[in-house]
Structure formats: structure tokens, C-alpha cells
Chains A and B, each alone.
Chain A
Amino acid sequence: MTSLGFSLSQARLAFSGQWLFDGLSADFAPGSWTGLLGRSGSGKSSLLRMIADLPIPDTHDLALSTGDQRPLAGRLAWMAQQDQLLPWRKVIDNVLLGPALRGRPTAAQRQRAMALLDDVGLSDKAEQWPKTLSGGQRQRVALARTLFEDAPVVLMDEPFSAVDAITRLELHELAARLLAGRTVLLVTHDPLEALRLSDHILILGGQPASLRDFEVPDGQRPRALDAPDVQRMQSQLVARLHAPHGDPEGSVS
């Protein structure tokens, strides 16, 4: 798998007759991780769905281009807030869902799925039903399923928001390690998550909404929780999300 960058332009989305955003553009460098933040209703999840070409009810438009000029479709992996494990497939068969939906999984693919389950620390659960797993374990299976696709671009919509705080921190480490080298766009509500995992942070907000950069701490991801930069920037980031857009001095009152 070679790294693949992509950029979007002229993204627009209407919500009840009004443009929620219009003329958005952004670049995603090969192998970089971008955290996309914004308040509820800012349209960040819709933007992610638009990139993945998933159905959304509202009028929308988007131009995508990739580093090698070939379409992005078929080369991206999708990870949602819920793990979306299929309850009627054993854990291993959930990891193999992609090949099963495109044909019949081969023995080699099965072996690779086992290896990926081993990577996420769940090889002993391969033959169990998903309902026997905890929330964190389920999300790790979802991560293995995402990894199986070996897609250069990974889109994640609040992938760690349904698990408890400690599990979330563990999942950060795991995801940062296993998804290294891929171009990741991560929609999140959690400023700390964005600061730990991102090379770039984009904030979607305002009327109509626009994308603003936010500086990230130095150092390799996943950044340590107790790094002074992470702590300091977390409160700045919260303030930015709280403030009216375009007013970086806005503060939480």
C-alpha cells in the first residue's frame, strides 16, 4: 500500500433550503492525519459522508481529486461511531466482511484476518459471536475489519466516542500504531482526541460554515496525555469551538 493524498474543493451542503457551507476546500497530504472538529449540526459528519459518497438526504456537491488522479472510490475505508459488527457473523467473519461482500473469502484472506485479530489482541475471540464482546473489544474488531481493506484513505466518524474514557485512550494508541502511513480523516467531538492523533486540525463552523486551521502540538502521534502542550492547547481548542467562528480570541465565559 502506497500513501495517497487527496483534496476536496467546492464542497457545499444545503440544509432546509440554506447553504450550511458552500465552496469549502481542503487538502489531505499522503499519510497525514487530520482531525475535523465542529459543533453539532456544523455538517462535519455530512462532509465525511460526502467524501465517502454515502447517501445523505440534503442537496450536496463535492469535487474530489487524488494524488494519482484516479478516483477515490474503492480505495477508502469507513469506520463509524458504532462498530457496526454484524451479529450473525462470528468475530473473524466480521473482519472478513469485505471479501465476503465482494465474493468468497480465500484461505489466505482468512489467515490475514487472523493475523489482524492478533494485532488488535483478540485472536482468542475469533470464533465468538460479537454479542459476547465488550464495547472496546467490538471497536477493536471494527478496527481490524477496517485494516483488512488495506485502504490508503481511512475516514472515521467519531470512531471512539461510544466507549469509556480509558478504553478510548487505549484505542488511540492502537489506531495510531496500526493505521500509520494511511491518510486519515477523523471527525471527532473530543478535542483531546484530535490533539493526540492529528497532524492537522480543521474546525468547521460559522455562518455559512468554513474550515479553519488550528495548530497542533509538536511530537509524534499519539501524543502523551500529560504533554504540557496537549493540556494547554486543549483549553484553547475548547475556547475556539465555543467562540463564534473567526474570533480566535473568544473565551469560555
Chain B
Amino acid sequence: MSILKRFWPAFLGILSLLGLWQALVVITGVPGYVLPSPLAVMQAFAAHQQLLWHHAGITVIEIVAGLLIGCLSGLGTALALARFHGLRRTLLPILLISQAVPLFALAPILMLWLGYGMTAKIVMATLIIYFPVASTCYDGLRQTPQGWLDLAQTLGANRRRRLLRIQLPAALPALASGMRMAASAAPIGAVIGEWVGSSQGLGYLMLDANARMQVDLMFAALLILVTFGVALYFTTDAVMRRLMPWHEDRTGATS
């Protein structure tokens, strides 16, 4: 009931966009292999359900695995950088350079090294989110208010406890935006990986459907990707909120 109340403007917006799309197709009479109508997409979705779910399963595993590994290693890197000063001069430049390598260019090499299976795609998804997560977390860890650090020092905290009990929780809001960003970037990595070379997954299915002019099937695959992307974003958001019951912007969000 309350969900309906809260989201009906969004539903209305999406519905009118779909209506506009359908009207455009009907009025212009554009052929289905260029732009299928929303109804045609739904029909393709229903007709190819089994095929779609099979490939979606593969892609979802790649995305979730990439997301987990990327976030954990990004967070680990940030913590290590904050804890060990000596690491900064070595690791920070490498991180920066690695970020400048275009991942698209890297994809074929990854296929060459890791083969056409899932591993290469998981690595792609991991790589695409690793650096942004590491850098937002590290920034968050460095920007602890001085007053809290003063307090930690006068209370006799050692570096490890100061990091885990003061700096890390203080960085959680920054970390949350890093995670949300990662949740929307991870599918890009997986799909790019599938485009470059694979025999399974939604990216592969879309490329294949494109070659066969099955544009309606492409859109159906896209629909799954979008739905999953949105679900992933909100799940990440909910998890981060659970971790921060004290955080300010939660108070008003229960309406």
C-alpha cells in the first residue's frame, strides 16, 4: 500500500514513456527489425523465456561475483593504504596508472589469458569497479574529522583500533556511495566481457540476436539487464543503510 503510494509517480512516468514508444512505432510504421514495439518485446520475452533465463543466470553470477570481489579488494586496498604509510608511494601511482588503462582494450587480452569462460568476465567486472571503490574508500578513510582523531589519541588508541573503530565507520557514508557506484558499473564489465568473446550470457545473446536481426529479443535481454541493475542498486543501498542505522539521511526515508 505505502509502496504503491510512494512509487506511483515513477510507475506513471514509465508507463507513459512505454505508451509513447508504442505510439511512435504504430504511427511511423517503422519495421520491427529496426525498432520493435514494447508489445513485440514482451512477446519475444514470453516466447524465449527459457533461453533468456539461462543466459541471464550466467551474467548475474558474473556480475555478483565481480561486485563482491571488486568491493572487498577495493576496501582491503583502501584499509591497507590508510594503515601503512609506506605503501602509499608505491601503490597509489600504480593504482592511478591502472585506472588510465582502457578496460575495453584490455578485454581481448583477458580472453586470451583466461579463456572464453566466466573467469574473464568476472575479472572484467572486478577491474571496472576495483579502482573507484578503492579510491572512494581511501578518500573516506583519510577525511576523518580532526576532532575524532584528537579524541582517539588522547584516549590512547593504537593505529589499528583507530582505523577500525573511528576511521572506518566515519568513512561508511563515502564507502556507501562507492558501493552504489560499483553496483551500477559491474554489469558494464560483465557485458563488455561477453561481447568480446563468449558463448553464454546476456551480452552474448544480444550480440547473437543482433546478427540475426532479432531486435525484439535484444530488447528483451536488455530489459532483464536493466531490471537486474536496478535491483542490484537498491539491494546495495539497503545493505549500506542497514550498516548505518545512525546515519542522518535515514531518519526521513521511512515515510
| Range, interface on chain B | 20 to 34
CA–CA, A88 to B176, complex, Å?
A: 15
Chain A residues in 8 Å Cβ range of B152: 101
Q: Looking at the complex, which one of B154, B157, B166 makes contact with A78 (CB distance below 8 Å)?
A: B154
CA–CA, A74 to B245, complex, Å?
A: 33
A98 touches B155 (CB 8 A): yes
CA–CA, A46 to B148, complex, Å?
A: 17
Interface residue A163 (Cβ < 8 Å from any Cβ of B): no
CA–CA, A84 to B147, complex, Å?
A: 6
Q: How far is the CB of B28 from chain A (nearest CB, A)?
A: 55
B147 touches A131 (CB 8 A): no
B155 touches A131 (CB 8 A): no
Task: Count residues on chain A whose CB falls below 8 Å from chain B CBs.
Answer: 24
Majority secondary structure, B binding face? helix
Q: How far is the CB of A99 from chain B (nearest CB, A)?
A: 9
Would you give the 0/1 interface string for B163-195, flagging 1 where the beta carbon is closer than 8 Å to chain A?
001100110100000000000000000000000
Q: How far is the CB of A33 from chain B (nearest CB, A)?
A: 19
Q: How far is the CB of A135 from chain B (nearest CB, A)?
A: 15
List chain B positions with a Cβ less than 8 A from chain A.
Answer: 147-148, 150-157, 161-162, 165-166, 169-170, 172, 244-248, 251
A-B CB proximity, top 6 nearest: A101-B157, A78-B154, A98-B155, A88-B169, A84-B147, A88-B246
List chain A positions with a Cβ less than 8 A from chain B.
Answer: 49, 52-54, 74, 76-78, 80, 82, 84, 86-89, 97-98, 100-102, 129-131, 149
Q: Beyond the given A87-B247, A101-B166, A102-B156, could you list 6 further A-B residue pairs with CB under 8 A, ordered by the A residue number?
A: A80-B150, A84-B150, A86-B169, A86-B170, A88-B246, A98-B155
